[in-house]
Amino acid sequence: MKVAVTAYGPGLDAQFVAVFGRCPAFVLVDSETSASEVLENGAAGAAGGAGIQAAQAVIDGGAKAVITGNVGPNAFQVLSAAGIPVYVFAGGTVRQAVQAFAEGRLQAVSVATARAHAGMGYGRGGGMGPGAGMGRGGGRGRNR
């Protein structure tokens, strides 16, 4: 069975990454032969709809299952509609994720594991907060 694993790069020894829509790459692995190929995630830098685009790429790539850490509701809906189950993995390498899958140690999820737009800003270093901290000092210090 061809399994898509979210990863930082190509190959079985690539580090697993716990986000779906904005992961850098999917490693497509035949769970029986361990043959693999990389599918760069063109949606990783998308302004919006990354999960949906990534899900469609995985479907087009022929995956029959997905191993990730978190998947948002839109991507989950697209994968579910295509009959592709999503399995949660805690971390390690692509090889370890596929081995855990093959041994039946991964749990399939029945709902999205992340809220919508949870991956915004992933990997780009751009926080979305206003940066308006409310310090407790109150500005009551005295200059002497």
Q: Where are the domains of the chain?
A: 2-108
CA-based nearest residue to 83, from 58, 105, 102, 101:
58
Regions of the chain with pLDDT less than 50: 119-134
CA-based nearest residue to 98, from 47, 26, 39, 43:
26
- Domain 2-108 fold: Nucleotidyltransferase; domain 5 (3.30.420)
Give the integer Cα–Cα distance in Å for 5 and 106.
Answer: 13
Which amino acid, 26? F
pLDDT of residue 65: 98
pLDDT of residue 121: 47
Distances (CA, A) of 41 to 7, 29, 128, 134: 10, 15, 23, 39
pLDDT of residue 75: 94
pLDDT of residue 132: 45
